[in-house]
Structure 1
Amino acid sequence: MTADTATVQHRREGGRAVALTLATAGFAVNFWAWALLSPLSSTYKELLGLTPFEASVLVAVPVIVGSLGRIVLGALTDRYGGRLMFAVTSMLGVVPVVLLAFAGSYPALLAGGLVLGLTGATFAIGVPFVNAWFPPERRGLALGIFGMGNIGTAISGFATPWLADRFGRPVPFFVVAVALVVVGLAFLAFGREAPGTRRATEPFLSRFLAAGRLRVTRELAAMYALTFGGFVAFGAYLPLYLKAVYGLSTADAAARAAGFVVLATLARPVGGWLADRFGGRIVLSGALAVAVVCAVAVSFAPPMPPATAGFLAMAAALGLGNGAVFALLGRAVPATAVGSATGVVGAVGGLGGFLPPIVMGLIYQATGSYAIGLMLLAAVAAAALVYCWFVLRPDGPGGPGVPEWSGPAHDLV
């Protein structure tokens, strides 16, 4: 290796580190913004006299918009690049955050939450931005590290109510607004697109439809709906479950749920790294198998110690599965379609978090037991495991380190 080649390689490694750091930090801040309303929902319920349904809608609006918005922002990232899109979206996110700090009515909160949802769509910006910087054999780990930015939801769960109680309800909104400005300026000042990045030139609708026609997009969307949807569902529903089944206090149940979220988040880059080494299909299959066993085990409501072990093992499995899904996507999808495909997969995964709590709530209301709901989850995970092991074939013939896609997009339909 010549001195010039070594210098270029050193600069590229430095660029990768900066890009990954910016994307992960920006994702975490935007996810904190996205999750601002949920920890304060009980406060708004008391202040405004909201019904349980109205409070649920208030929390759900940003999540729905953020999930569906990933389709749009992912496609725009393919066209305009992650640096510009991250900066613009973060800056735009300041507007609803500041408005929500002063919102005093239910319609104002809904309007702010509607626009706030865009911050949750930044996931679809970061994946293609990070993906372009790394070679195929390192994308799983890189995307897994980036995915740790969803720790922003856990940060919000701890920091938002603490700041509101200690300094006043508007303060967490002001803190997040400043952080979003810093993220936007940091991307403009230090963010760079990966050398040789190709921009998509086709119209948005064409790119969206093309990404949706990729068989691997549809397959990974279904897998992500289970792994990430399960992560979201248990993160939100576990406190209610633990209080109802084990009689835990609100604080204890919330702390255990936060532990679930943190462990799943930390497992995500491990899943990506393992996928780089052994192939995403193998890692995803193993994660689904663990999820099946754990769901069956906890459905019998065992004593608290084994139940805790079961839920923590499930958290790790779902995190590993999340990392494996995007390790597969980063290799299997054409470079100019990663943003659009990420938008579709991310949207389905985000929306997948709504179904399990609804189903489990309805079953519990009808039967007084969560066992049937957990068994149903185990059955769905088992079906996904069978499909993943026997049907899903995104790994290339050269092994997990070889890019899977080498032809036109329609080859994967």
Structure 2
Amino acid sequence: MSEEALRLWDLRHQRIQMLHLSWLAFFISFVIWFAHAPLMIYIKESLALNDHQVKTLLLLNVALTIPARSLIGMFVDKFGPRVIYSLLLLIGGLLCFGFALAPNYETLAAFRFLLGFVGASFVVGIRLIAEWFPARQLGLAEGIYGGWGNFGAAVGALVLPLIASFFALPLGWRVAVALAGTIAIIYAWFFYRFARDTPAGATYFKPNRIGALEVSSRKDLVLYIATSSVLYLAIALLLWKLSAPPTPLLPLPVALAIGAGFLLLYALQVRKMFSVNQHLFAPVQTPPPVQYAFKQVTILSIAYLAAFGAELAVVSMLPLYFHDTFGWSPMLAAALASSFAFMNLIARPLGGWFSDKFGRKNVLTLVMVGITLGFLGFAHIEASWPMLAVIGLTVVASFFVQAGCGAVFACVPLIQRRLTGQFAGIAGAYGNVGGLVFLTMLALYGPSFFFVFIASTAALSLLAVQWYSEPKGHLIEVMPDGSIQLIAVE
């Protein structure tokens, strides 16, 4: 098959089969991960939840995904995408049944927290697509995977409330969530049966050691530790939010105990970072074949924080925001809010395709400008705005958000192939950090400040992107027999 065009419906080619298997797995993951958002109006009424409890559920939905994405990234690099994706879908489907059967707020919150683990599924497909597509097509292929997969949120927002409407209030949302879980379990078997980690005869490059990334210099090690620290600070923010009045989900002593556990985990991880990279302190430094610049990971993580963080937060709050601001019915508010997620279908692939064609740094710069301006526009929405104007702004802002996500992951697999899962895990976790921080700003200060804060974060990300280095030439990977393989990156 030519590398100049992707023939998406030519299923004779196994790489096209893998692309469709992958985006559909991610699509189902997103349906079950965000099943609560379009159904929140029904859930709130069914269990008599207050506004604080609703906001806490939104925060819980992105909480576990922060550490999970880094963890899953390591597992994918070590054990391969086929096994890990199948397990995630199976576990996510089972957790849906727990959420659907929850008799009270506490149980509901526990299963919503656990379902955040499903958000790590994105990382798996990033590595899988990188194994099957050359660099000239990689941005577009990753964009299709991420964009069409993320479209699951839009389909869920349209279909799940419709399913729920056929049943009485206490039952409808539960049936909708359980049905989504059933589909995930069935597809877990299907993916395991038909997916493959690499093309026939290709080498699946694995990290030399697991538990922490190998970096190329002492400076990179310091940056790696600093970049990882942000993830633990985000967890501390979450624990504070969950233990804060007026209706804390966690008693303060419990929150402090969990925080102490994460602090210990952080200390152990830093120790592991030094252990894996002890060669940096020896007279003989890292050999050239495994060198890379860790700043690339940090910059792309910051960009993804702004882009995907905005998507996570806005998709979670937009149906209720439209309902409260304009008085639209629950189904209308959910349907119109789905236009934000709907843009995933075309904007993520376009973000990746533009990166392939016009330069990755150029596209990253453009999308950050668009995100900044789009959310400054959102901050000025008023109840008097006509519906068409609201929808138009939603679509335009969403386009830049989704294209930004596609642009970031057109870059991530081009840093070092054998560590792609872990790079994707860090960048993906930063996206969840963004969602958590943005939703915290929403809970504390309301929608207007929330939108301005997202715009300000995108503006800072725009500055960071200017230090990104466009990939050139080839990646160098070491084969199991010690020979060198070159992988083109342009």
TM-score (norm 1): 0.84
Residue 223 of structure 1 contacts residue 384 of structure 1 at CA under 8 Å; is this kept in 2? yes
Identify if the C-alpha distance between structure 1 residues 140 and 68 changes in structure 2 by more than 3 Å, giving closer, same or farther.
same
Deviation at 1:93, TM superposition (A): 2.1
Q: Following TM superposition, by how much is the alpha carbon of 1:352 offset from its aligned partner in structure 2, in angstroms?
A: 0.5
CA displacement 1:184-228 (0-9 Å, x = unmatched): 112221111112211234122356997946211111111001011
Distance 2:94 2:326 in 1: 42
Q: Which runs of 5+ in 2 are unaligned?
A: 2-9, 226-293, 479-490
- Is 2:418 the counterpart of 1:340? no
Return the letter of the residue paired with 2:157: G
Contact preservation (8 Å) 2:95, 2:181: no
Relative to structure 2, which stretch is displaced further, 134-143 or 112-121? Answer: 112-121
Tell me the amino acid that sits aligned with residue 467 of structure 2: V
Shift of 1:375: 4.3
2:462 alignment partner, one of 367, 373, 385: 385
**Alpha-carbon distance change, 31 to 282 in structure 1, aligned in 2, over 3 angstroms:** same
Distance 1:147-1:46 versus aligned 2 partners, 3 A rule: same
Q: Distance in 1 between matches of 2:43 and 2:453?
A: 34
State the partner residue of 1:153.
153
SS in 2 for 1:166: coil
Structure 1 residues 265 and 234, CA gap change in structure 2 (3 angstroms): farther
1:184–1:249 Cα change, 3 Å: closer
Question: Is it true that 1:136 corresponds to 2:111 in the alignment?
Answer: no
User: Are the structure 2 counterparts of residues 379 and 88 from structure 1 closer, same or farther at C-alpha, using a change threshold of 3 Å?
Assistant: closer
Deviation at 1:240, TM superposition (A): 5.0
| Letter paired with 2:338 | A
Q: Distance in 1 between matches of 2:64 and 2:429?
A: 9
Give the equivalent residue in structure 2 for 1:291: 371
Conservation of the 8 A alpha-carbon contact between 2:35 and 2:156: yes
| Residue from 196, 207, 212 that aligns with 1:205 | 212
Structure 1 counterpart of 2:398, from 288, 296, 315: 315
Structure 2 CA distance for partners of 1:196 and 1:264, relative to 1, 3 Å: same
Contact 2:206 2:419 in 1 (8 A): no
Q: 1:300 to 1:156 in 2, by over 3 A?
A: closer
Change (3 A) 1:79 1:106: same
Q: CA, structure 1 residues 90+287, in 2 after alignment: closer, same or farther (shift >3 Å)?
A: same
Which residue does the alignment assign to 1:6?
A: none
Q: Cα offset for 1:374?
A: 4.1
Give 5+ residue unaligned stretches, structure 1: 2-10, 409-413
Partner of 1:219 in structure 2? Answer: 299
Partner SS for 2:197: coil
Shift of 1:16: 0.9
Matches within 5 A, 1:120-135: 120-135=119-134
Are 1:165 and 2:165 matched, yes or no?
yes
Q: CA deviation at 1:108?
A: 2.6
Aligned pairs for 1:6-405 (under 5 A) are: 14-148=13-147, 149-167=149-167, 168-169=171-172, 170-194=174-198, 195-206=202-213, 212=224, 214-242=294-322, 248=328, 250-301=330-381, 303-304=385-386, 305-331=388-414, 333-360=415-442, 362-364=444-446, 370=448, 374-388=451-465, 390-393=466-469, 395-397=470-472, 402-403=473-474, 405=475
How far apart, CA to CA, are the structure 2 residues paired with 1:96 and 1:357? 23
Q: Is the 8 A contact 1:22 1:186 kept in 2?
A: no
CA spacing shift, 1:287–1:39, aligned 2, 3 Å? same
CA distance in 2, matches of 1:407, 1:191: 24
After TM superposition, the structure 1 stretch with the greater mean CA deviation from structure 2, 26-35 or 238-247, is: 238-247
| C-alpha separation in 1, matches of 2:165 and 2:457 | 41
Structure 1 pair 26–226 and aligned structure 2 pair: CA distance change class (3 A): same
Deviation (angstroms), 1:86: 0.9
1:354 is paired with a residue whose SS is: helix
Could you tell me how far 1:387 is from its partner in structure 2?
3.2
Whether the aligned pair in 2 keeps the contact of 1:41 and 1:59 (CA below 8 Å) is no
Offset at residue 53 of structure 1 (A):
1.9
The whole-number CA distance in structure 2 between the counterparts of 1:146 and 1:236 is: 21
Taking a change above 3 Å as real, the CA distance of residues 198 and 27 of structure 1, as seen in their structure-2 partners, is: same
Alpha-carbon contact 2:157-2:335 (below 8 Å) kept: no
Counterpart amino acid of residue 263 in structure 1? M
Contact 2:62 2:435 in 1 (8 A): no
Q: Partner letter of residue 204 of structure 1?
A: G
Which residue in the other structure is 2:243 paired with?
A: none
Q: What is the deviation of 1:135? A: 1.0
Q: Report the counterpart of residue 411 of structure 1 in structure 2.
A: none
Of the structure 1 ranges 80-89 and 229-238, higher mean CA displacement relative to structure 2 is found in 229-238
Task: State the one-letter code of the partner of 1:128.
Answer: R
Q: Deviations over 1:64-95 (max 9, x none)?
A: 11233111111100000000111122122232
- TM-fit CA distance, 1:285: 0.9
Q: Which amino acid aligns with 1:318?
A: V
Task: Tell me if structure 2 keeps the 8 A contact 1:140–1:330.
Answer: no
1:277-316 C-alpha deviation (Å, 9 max, x unpaired):
1111111111122223333445444853555433322111
Name the structure with the higher helix share: 1
Q: Which one-letter code corresponds to 1:351 in the other structure?
A: V
CA RMSD of aligned residues (A): 2.9
Residue type of the alignment partner of 1:384: S
Deviations 1:323-352 (A, max 9, x none): 100001121x21111101111110110220
Report the identity percentage: 25
> 1:60 and 1:360 mapped to 2: Cα distance?
10
1:385-408 deviation digits (Å, cap 9, x = unpaired): 2332x3222x134xxxx44x5489
- Report deviation, 1:246: 5.3
8 Å Cα contact 2:68-2:120 kept in structure 1: yes
Q: Distance in 1 between matches of 2:90 and 2:377?
A: 46
The alpha-carbon distance between structure 1 residues 54 and 322, as it changes in their structure 2 partners (threshold 3 A), is same
